């Protein structure tokens, strides 16, 4: 088997070229919490316009602008704060020009965990929910479905409206 | 009279049968002796191996620097128990994210290769086998501070002396050829699969010494073998 010797020697050059490998980053390494809207125990679509603000250094910062006909939404959470405060606002239109505004505040208490994946993909920040507090203008209650908030995009909260 | 004839015939037949049996036994004994001389001796010797694929790849630009050697026994030119001991160093900084990862640890593997070629008396081998590998390691990660794009808070990116362990299995297929007397070269393709690991929750070990990047998958090796002792045939 003289050709076997040639094959073995030739493979040395192939091996050197094939020394490279890489890592595929996940398509989504941004962490969002997933919220579903419920009424009377079943999922509902809100026909009105939804806005969500985050309290950033004491100032309301718009996160979601004019979400319409929605049954769910995704919200980011802060990397490092132990609690995030959101304002959920619904503009209910009586006609094309006039509307009423209903709003509630939601406070998420959480533990934060940064997770390193690779030098290419960097770090993402996961959270573990420890508690939820809300006002009750239009919200009846908020149910925590999944405490862990990560890149899996699974349902975390259900807002039960009155 | 008839009884005497029958006895004579019977004894004659018995004698002929015994004669044939003895001749058959003698032939078989000669064949067995010839087979023994054409079979490899039970213990064929041992060899030292050096893996050169990884150092060569490092010279060509990969971030891992690995040194690995092994001690391989040879039984009947068919069974090759082997122990591999290595040390791997990995140090990389990503140009885009400026995140730096560094690890530096030994590893070892135990396993066996089997020569699948029918003719065990020749010097070339087609090998199939396995390895069980283990590494315990620490790694460091650092990079620019991370800023929350919405809330504006900033935090450090720094993980120091994060430790982990991994046990894995490799399925090995390879070719080996005699280049000179007492010197072989060979390559192998290995599928590596994690069996058990202990890793921290806050960081993935981007590279594990002996295993490579953390996902299960294929790797290749290129080895030089130096025979310390050598036999091919059986009794002489």
Say yes or no: A10 contacts chain B, CB-CB below 8 A.
Answer: no
Collapsed DSSP state (helix, strand, coil) of residue B18 = helix
> How is residue A53 written in tokens?
């603000």
Q: Is pLDDT of B4 > 50?
A: yes
Q: Is pLDDT of B117 > 80?
A: yes
Backbone angles phi, psi at B6, to 5 degrees: -65, -40
User: Which contacts of B103-106 are long-range, i.e. CB under 8 A and separated by 24 or more positions?
Assistant: B103/B137, B103/B138, B103/B139, B103/B140, B103/B205, B103/B206, B103/B207, B103/B208, B103/B209, B104/B137, B104/B138, B104/B209, B105/B135, B105/B136, B105/B137, B105/B138, B105/B209, B106/B135, B106/B209, B106/B210
Say yes or no: A15 contacts chain B, CB-CB below 8 A.
Answer: yes
Q: Which residues of B touch A123 (CB under 8 A)?
A: 99, 143, 146, 157
How many Cβ pairs within 8 Å bridge chains A and B?
A: 126
Mean pLDDT of B177-192: 91
Those residues of chain A that have pLDDT short of 70 are 1-24, 26-29
Say yes or no: A59 contacts chain B, CB-CB below 8 A.
Answer: no
Q: Which range in B52-61, B106-115, B149-158 is most confidently predicted, on average pLDDT? A: B106-115
Would you state the pLDDT for residue A93? Answer: 81
pLDDT bin (cut points 50, 70, 90) of residue B21 is low
Name the average pLDDT for chain B.
86
Mean pLDDT of B12-21: 62
Task: Name the residue among B110, B97, B28, B101 with its Cα closest to residue B64.
Answer: B101
Task: Name the residue among A128, A24, A29, A116 with its Cα closest to residue B203.
Answer: A116
Nearest to B204 among A56, A57, A117 (CB): A117
Nearest to A78 among B100, B150, B212 (CB): B150
pLDDT bin (cut points 50, 70, 90) of residue B92 is very high
CA distances from B115 to A41, B3, B80, B92, B173 (A): 67, 63, 8, 39, 10
Interchain contact, A81 vs B151, CB within 8 Å: yes
Q: Which of B7-11, B87-91, B100-104, B155-159 has the lowest mean pLDDT?
A: B7-11
Would you state the pLDDT for residue A6? Answer: 64
d(CA A97, nearest CA chain B) in Å: 32
Residue B91 half-sphere exposure toward CB, CA atoms < 13 A = 5
Would you state the pLDDT for residue B106? Answer: 97
Q: Which residues does A46 contact at the CB level (< 8 Å), separation at least 6?
A: A37, A69, A70, A71, A90
Find the closest chain B residue to A78 by CA distance: B151
Q: Which range in A96-100, B28-32, B176-180, B197-201 is most confidently predicted, on average pLDDT? A: B176-180
Interchain contact, B122 vs A1, CB within 8 Å: yes
Find the closest chain A residue to B155 by CA distance: A80
Instruction: Mutate one of B140, B148, B208, B216 to test the A interface: name it (highest A CB count within 10 A).
Output: B148
Would you state the pLDDT for residue A17? Answer: 46
Interchain contact, A4 vs B57, CB within 8 Å: no
> How is residue B127 written in tokens?
């090998």
> How is residue A6 written in tokens?
């040639």
> How is residue A34 written in tokens?
């997933």
Interchain contact, A1 vs B177, CB within 8 Å: yes
Interchain contact, A15 vs B148, CB within 8 Å: no
Give me the interface pTM, i.e. the ipTM: 0.80
Say yes or no: A62 contacts chain B, CB-CB below 8 A.
Answer: no
Give burial (CB, 10 Å; 0-12/13-18/19+) of B69: middle
Q: Which residues of B touch A117 (CB under 8 A)?
A: 204, 206
Say yes or no: A11 contacts chain B, CB-CB below 8 A.
Answer: yes
Backbone angles phi, psi at A69, to 5 degrees: 60, 45
Interchain contact, B97 vs A23, CB within 8 Å: no
> How is residue A140 written in tokens?
């009846």
């Amino acid at each position: 088997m003289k050709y076997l010797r040639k094959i073995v020697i030739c493979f040395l050059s192939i091996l050197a070229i094939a020394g490279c490998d890489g890592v595929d980053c996940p398509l989504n390494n941004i962490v969002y919490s997933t919220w579903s809207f419920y009424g009377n125990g079943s999922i509902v679509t809100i026909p009105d316009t939804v806005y969500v603000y985050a309290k950033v250094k004491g100032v309301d910062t718009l996160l979601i602008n004019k979400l319409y006909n929605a049954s769910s939404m995704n919200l980011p959470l802060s990397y490092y704060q132990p609690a995030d405060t959101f304002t959920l606002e619904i503009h209910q239109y009586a006609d094309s020009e006039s509307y009423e505004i209903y709003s509630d505040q939601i406070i998420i208490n959480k533990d934060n965990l940064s997770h390193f994946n690779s030098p290419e993909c960097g770090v993402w920040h996961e959270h573990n929910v420890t508690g939820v507090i809300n006002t009750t203008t239009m919200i009846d209650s908020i149910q925590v479905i999944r405490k862990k908030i990560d890149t899996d995009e699974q349902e975390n909260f259900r807002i039960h409206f009155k | 009279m008839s009884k005497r004839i029958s006895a004579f015939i019977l004894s004659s037949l018995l004698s002929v049968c015994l004669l044939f049996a003895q001749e058959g036994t003698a032939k078989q004994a000669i064949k067995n002796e010839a087979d023994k001389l054409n079979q490899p001796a039970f213990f064929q010797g041992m060899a030292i191996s050096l893996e050169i694929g990884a150092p060569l790849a490092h010279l060509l630009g990969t971030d891992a620097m690995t040194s690995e050697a092994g001690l391989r026994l040879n039984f009947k030119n068919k069974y090759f128990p082997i122990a591999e001991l290595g040390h791997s160093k990995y140090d990389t900084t990503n140009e885009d994210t400026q995140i730096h990862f560094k690890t530096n640890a030994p590893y070892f593997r135990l396993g066996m290769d089997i020569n699948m070629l029918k003719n065990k008396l020749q010097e070339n081998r087609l090998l199939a086998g396995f390895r069980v590998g283990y590494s315990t390691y620490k790694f460091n990660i650092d990079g620019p501070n991370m800023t929350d794009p919405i809330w504006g808070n900033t935090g450090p990116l720094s993980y120091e002396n994060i430790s982990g362990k991994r046990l894995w299995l490799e399925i090995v297929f390879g070719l080996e050829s005699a280049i000179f007397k007492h010197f072989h070269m060979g390559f192998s393709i290995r599928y590596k699969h994690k069996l058990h690991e202990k890793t921290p929750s806050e960081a993935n070990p981007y590279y594990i010494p002996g295993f490579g990047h953390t996902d299960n998958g294929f790797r290749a090796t290129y080895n030089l073998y130096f025979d310390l002792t050598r036999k091919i045939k059986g009794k002489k």
